[in-house]
Structure 1
């Protein structure tokens, strides 16, 4: 009888605990678990992520949790949840990205935690707005050198054109003149290796050893640029073997985002004849007749061409992929729900930038909307999150914007450009980088750009 009573008490205790947990969890956001434990809704989500999120939002409301590859990912899609994401002190950026950093750059978690804030502050200072004048001069010289190789007229794949201009220019400025190869075979190898790494980044692949040994270890001894202070900081806090890993990660960050931003800016501008004409009139008024001289682009001259910066930002708004993630350290309340500690709180700039409440006519290319932004005081439009937010907002955002502007100005000044094919559709691909989701837009091999300023020899296609 005593054994029976004990058994009954244990059962009743388990039932009470279960009911307590059910009641406690009832205040959590609706959770979509899928049919397979740990895998969750990974397959359905992966096939068409944006459509899946939209259907889930319609069914469950503006906040919900998905089980994806063993992770609880709580998505916020409306204003209140967005504001919690942006302002709550109970969310942590570093804990959300530590695993992807390890899986994509082989940087150990303890090293990442030791160095992240220090390197971020250094990068923010060196790539900050106060240093843009010197970068504008360097970018102009570097891009002029790359433009020489294009010849006078011909056709070229727009994405390849942008990569051929910005890969060497960015690398030489940030990592030192002479680092980027000049031999055609070596240049091709660099493009191939970097493209493989960039394409596989969303899969969370480890740093390819052949990439590190194929010239990137030169970062350890190449210290004559602003990157020197970063290398010194890395070597002071950790072993020298981590230097090329960090440099590769920084190289990826510098190249993988500015190339698509420049591609989409040119594609959108050239596909809107009225905007293209207005830009060309502005360029001529500042620099004179297009194509005649080797112009220099300064900060003062950029301020006279605000439409170009607006076009860059509007292109980034429309094409900026990705998911921002934060680890929930302590439970946070959103609407009538409590998001538990351990969840990843997820926010997509793609959805946010298409919310008509924040961006009227969200699918339209309307650079004039950026006239309302206080760019002089380094402020974007509200709810524009292409560069992240908060304490760890992208430290190189102003340098990246400068790169795109200078590249667009020099290309349009020197060449008469037009698209031979329609602007490609932004095709969204879903990838899981361990615990971080990244949306990456395919850049179709088209459109082509027609270069015809002077009618002389053709450049190779």
Structure 2
């Protein structure tokens, strides 16, 4: 019996070695040096992510690999990020997402196989209809309940189906709507006054019920720029994980094997002066007003919604939702941070979360 086990083990090891030698050796990205086995770069990745990734890029170049959570992950900088986003035959965001959150096991129809058809049949042709219905819910909920003091009685939110439905829609539409808290945090007196004046002008287009026509969204130039800039500066350091579908060679000659995972260094894109303009690290709410670049537009300098033909199909609806929501908020309330300053993001590893600083909301005196 022992002889059989030993012989079987020898055969398995032999087959493994032969397979390794037969497989062509790839020109892999450099692996960042580390000292502690198993842990690797995990500690620096979690507790000093911004400086750690920045230093790695400085030493190893645009594409490099790090060892985190017991696995090797490759980081791709701004120069080669478009290859990951546009080569859908070689990289898959969906596969990487399912490997992290197995929605296919929970939801029967979780996957979308034909995004262009989805956009054409269900999104673009119905934006006007969806926006009108959504605006009515938002408008009604904000007018009735936003200034209700929930501490005066039982949990009122459980009694108002309209509020629950409205904000449940926020969550289900797009995770980007989690960015609404930092949008509110970014309110600053000098900016808020300009936004208020713009929304007053836009609101002249409203009907007798206070509802705006869909076309009014195009006149919210400053608000749109404000949203795009807020989302740009509150994003993650690394994002848009993609799984490699087949052995792939980047244009610089570096190669990745099938089933490897890459992360895009989006902070490298958002902090680049050539891509963002002067002072890319500073919050300039009206940076995009004259650029003809709406908050929903994707490109080499803005990847919040992904890129290529697999970019988020709900981005237009999500931005419209934020605009209608903030339009009502700005007209009805004065908002500022408790500290009186523009609060930055909170980081958990390379993942960004809204600031925990308090927000002061005061009803406008007419």
Do these two structures clear the TM 0.5 threshold for a shared fold by scoring above it? yes
- 1:54 Cα deviation after fit: 1.0
- DSSP-derived class of the 1:97 partner: helix
Structure 2: tracts of 5 or more residues without a match: 1-13
Say yes or no: does 1:344 pair with 2:261: yes
Query: Does the CA-based 8 Å contact 1:45-1:52 persist in structure 2?
Result: yes
Partner in structure 2 of residue 284 of structure 1: 200
Deviation per residue, 1:55-106 (Å, 9 max, x gap): 1112222211112223321111131x2232123332222321222222xx5x
Whether 2:234 is the aligned partner of 1:319: answer yes
Deviates more, 1:251-260 or 1:389-398: 251-260
Matched, 1:391 2:306: no
- Whether the aligned pair in 2 keeps the contact of 1:63 and 1:77 (CA below 8 Å) is yes
Residues 387-420 of structure 1 show CA distances to partners (whole Å, capped at 9, x for unaligned) of: 1112321121111100110111111122344444
- Taking structure 1 as reference, are residues 297 and 98 closer, same or farther at Cα in structure 2, changes over 3 Å only? same
SS state at 2:64 partner: strand
Does residue 127 of structure 2 align to residue 132 of structure 1? yes
1:405 corresponding residue in structure 2: 323
1:354 to 244, 249, 271: 271
For residues 271 and 127 of structure 1, do their structure 2 counterparts lie closer, same or farther at Cα, with a shift above 3 Å needed?
farther
Q: 1:115 to 1:122 in 2, by over 3 A?
A: farther
SS of match in other structure, 2:301 = coil
Contact 2:41–2:68 under 8 Å retained in 1: yes
**1:27-66: per-residue Cα shift (whole Å, max 9, x none)?**
3211136445554322221112122111111222221111
Q: CA deviation at 1:122?
A: 7.4
Instruction: State the distance in 1 between where 2:337 and 2:38 align.
Output: 47
Paired residue for 1:184?
A: 156
The counterpart of 1:108, out of the listed 105, 108, 112, is 105
Is structure 2 residue 290 aligned with structure 1 residue 371?
A: yes
1:420/1:450 contact within 8 Å kept:
no
Equivalent residues in 2 for 1:197-346 (5 A)? 252-254=171-173, 256-260=175-179, 262-268=180-186, 270-271=187-188, 273=190, 275-288=191-204, 294-321=209-236, 323-334=239-250, 335-346=252-263
Question: 1:374: Cα distance to partner?
Answer: 5.0
Cα 1:353–1:44 change in 2 (3 A) is: same
SS of structure 1 residue aligned to 2:347 = strand
* Alignment-derived partner of residue 11 in structure 2: none
- The match for 1:450 among 359, 362, 366 is 362
C-alpha distance in structure 2 between counterparts of 1:82 and 1:132, whole Å: 30
1:7-42 deviations in Å (ceiling 9; x for gaps): xxxxxx9xx99x989x945x3211136445554322
* TM-fit CA distance, 1:123: 5.8
Distance 2:342 2:291 in 1: 27
Instruction: Flag structure 1 segments of 5+ consecutive residues without an equivalent.
Output: 1-12, 157-181, 195-215, 217-247, 431-437, 455-461
Shift of 1:289: 12
Aligned-pair Cα RMSD in Å: 3.9
Whether contact under 8 Å (2:174, 2:318) holds in the other structure is no
For the pair 1:428 / 2:347, whether they are aligned, the reply is yes
Deviates more, 1:60-69 or 1:399-408: 60-69
SS at match of 1:369: coil
Aligned to 2:56: 56
Between Structure 1 and Structure 2, the one with more helix by share is 1
Q: What is the number of residues matched between the two proteins? A: 336
CA displacement, residues 113-155 of structure 1 (integer Å, 9 cap, x when unaligned): x751258567645762332222332233212222222449x9x
Q: Distance in 1 between matches of 2:212 and 2:226?
A: 17
TM-score where L is the length of structure 1: 0.62
Aligned to 2:3: none
Contact 1:318 1:353 in 2 (8 A): yes
SS in 2 for 1:30: coil
Change (3 A) 1:329 1:418: closer
Q: Is the 8 A contact 2:41 2:67 kept in 1?
A: yes
* Distance apart, 1:294 and its partner CA: 4.9
Structure 1 pair 38–329 and aligned structure 2 pair: CA distance change class (3 A): farther
Give 1:444 deviation, angstroms.
Answer: 0.8
